[in-house]
Amino acid sequence: MPRTRVVVLTAPSLFTEGIATRLKEHADRIELQVVDSRKADAVAAVIAARPAVVLLEAPGQPVDSHCPLDSLLAAMPSVKIIRLDASRDQIQVVTSEQRTVLDPIDLIGMVLPPA
């Protein structure tokens, strides 16, 4: 069974280090890489890792300012981005889809719920 590639994108914190440690306990199923979001090559490092999942801490961490999520989603439209929020005991899952739009009606079809 192939391992799931996961990148922990972080401006290092105890919280995300703890998450990375927990993920390493599942090394038989998860291929883990930690990328420092403060580095100039953070976006390139994440893209080069070709992850299925990117984990990041939010809010209050400067990850977005150093490694814009729109850049990641543009380069890897099928990646799942999971924002971890320790203060609220919750996660936010951000996903992306790219579709060809040839006519404005295609956009309307995406906006309106299915009939």
59 pLDDT exceeds 70?
no
99-112 pLDDT, tens per residue? 777 888 888 877 88
In this predicted structure, what is the pLDDT of residue 44?
A: 93
Length of the chain in terms of residues written: 115
Are 64 and 72 spatial neighbours (Cβ–Cβ below 8 Å)?
A: no
Which range is least confidently modeled, 4-13, 14-23, 53-62, 91-100?
53-62
> What pLDDT is recorded for position 10?
84
Q: 5: which strand partners?
A: 31
Whole-number pLDDT of residue 8: 92
Cα–Cα distance for residue pair 3/14, rounded to 1 Å: 25
Give the structural domain span for 107: 4-111
Q: Give the whole-angstrom CA distance, residue 15 versus residue 21.
A: 10
Structural domain count of the chain: 1
Q: What is the pTM of this model?
A: 0.81
Tell me the CATH number at 91: 3.40.50
